[in-house]
């Protein structure tokens, strides 16, 4: 199973994750990788699969709970309307053609290396016919204004406030925490240092509706 995450505007391959099956853990893994590399998105569009977004069946999926806790709006297409995810469906096709030309992977790790090579070519070397001037996705991504409200320190992305995206903030590192201040000296948030290896720390202020239960 290959999970692919793509930016709707620039078509950038945000993250790709290889797993044994379509599970919530795999879905969360690819999204968390994308967030660590590129920041927190405003919305996440997926299909209605149990591992992705089963909200239309009255179930709160693990991926939905995860992204909602980060302030991301999870959205899905209508059942039976795969064209809603058309860009992502088209994104699968060049990857499959690329893999057809590679030696058969003998492990998940080897397959992950192959799809990582594809993402590098797709983002940086392959002009995209759906972008103005046939730009590469990387060029389109760099030309797109950001709206994340996050800061990066010690290998970790910390969420502050989306409304502050683009604003000047000041960071103070103490032994116990990262402190974020605005340009008037008002403390905006305090983040305790996470355990080593943590890629993203949310604000601790979940948003959005809560469903009745969580699915595996």
pLDDT, tens digit (0-9, with 9 covering 90-100), for 81-107: 666 566 767 788 889 999 999 999 999
5 pLDDT band, cuts 50/70/90, is very high
Q: Cβ(97)–Cβ(115) under 8 Å?
A: no
Q: Are residues 136 and 155 in the same domain?
A: no
Q: Are residues 30 and 116 in the same domain?
A: yes
Q: Could you tell me which of 188, 156, 148 has the C-alpha nearest to residue 171?
A: 188
Return the axis-axis angle of helices 108-124 and 86-100, rounded to nearest 10°.
120
pLDDT, tens digit (0-9, with 9 covering 90-100), for 107-158: 999 999 999 999 999 889 877 776 777 788 888 887 766 666 788 888 788 8
Q: Are residues 111 and 77 in the same domain?
A: yes
- State the Cα–Cα distance between residues 112 and 117, nearest whole angstrom: 9
Work out the average pLDDT over 166-170.
Answer: 78
Work out the average pLDDT over 148-177.
Answer: 82
CA dihedral 130, 132, 135, 137 (to 10 degrees): -50
Number of domains in the chain: 2
Identify any residues that bridge with 184 across adjacent strands, giving them in sequence order: none
Q: Are residues 106 and 35 in the same domain?
A: yes
Instruction: Name the average pLDDT for the chain.
Output: 82
| 12 within some domain | yes
Q: Could you tell me which of 157, 133, 135, 190 has the C-alpha nearest to residue 33?
A: 157
Q: Cβ neighbours of residue 201 under 8 Å, at least 6 residues apart? A: 156, 157, 158, 159, 191, 194
Q: Are residues 75 and 131 in the same domain?
A: yes
Give the residue numbers spanning the domain of 21.
2-141
| 24 within some domain | yes
Q: Cβ(55)–Cβ(63) under 8 Å?
A: no
* Interior angle at CA 148, CA 66 and CA 213, nearest 5: 15
Q: Are residues 30 and 102 in the same domain?
A: yes
| 16 within some domain | yes
- State the Cα–Cα distance between residues 62 and 146, nearest whole angstrom: 27
| 213 within some domain | no
25 pLDDT band, cuts 50/70/90, is very high
- State the Cα–Cα distance between residues 56 and 13, nearest whole angstrom: 27
Q: Are residues 65 and 162 in the same domain?
A: no
Which of helix, strand or coil describes residue 17? Answer: strand
Work out the average pLDDT over 18-23.
Answer: 94
Whether 216 has a pLDDT exceeding 50, the answer reads no
pLDDT, tens digit (0-9, with 9 covering 90-100), for 34-53: 888 887 888 899 888 889 98
| 206 within some domain | no
Work out the average pLDDT over 205-209.
Answer: 42
Q: Are residues 83 and 26 in the same domain?
A: yes
Q: Cβ neighbours of residue 166 under 8 Å, at least 6 residues apart? A: 146, 147
């Amino acid at each position: 199973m290959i999970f692919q995450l793509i930016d709707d505007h620039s078509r950038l391959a945000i993250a790709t994750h290889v797993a044994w099956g379509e599970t919530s853990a795999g879905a969360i893994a690819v999204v968390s990788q994308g967030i660590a590399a590129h920041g927190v998105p405003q919305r996440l569009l997926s299909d209605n699969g149990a591992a992705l977004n089963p909200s239309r069946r009255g179930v709160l999926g693990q991926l939905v709970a995860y992204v909602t806790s980060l302030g991301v709006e999870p959205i899905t297409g209508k059942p039976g309307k795969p064209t809603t995810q058309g860009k992502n469906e088209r994104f699968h096709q060049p990857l499959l053609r690329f893999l057809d030309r590679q030696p058969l992977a003998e492990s998940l790790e080897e397959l992950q290396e192959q799809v990582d090579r594809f993402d590098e070519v797709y983002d940086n070397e392959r002009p995209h016919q759906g972008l103005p001037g046939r730009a590469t996705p990387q060029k389109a991504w760099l030309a797109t204004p950001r709206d994340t409200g996050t800061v990066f320190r010690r290998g970790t992305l910390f969420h502050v406030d989306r409304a502050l995206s683009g604003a000047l903030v000041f960071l103070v590192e103490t032994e116990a925490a990262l402190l974020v201040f605005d340009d008037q000296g008002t403390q905006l948030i305090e983040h305790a240092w996470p355990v080593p290896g943590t890629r993203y720390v949310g604000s601790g202020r979940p948003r959005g509706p809560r469903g009745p239960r969580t699915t595996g």
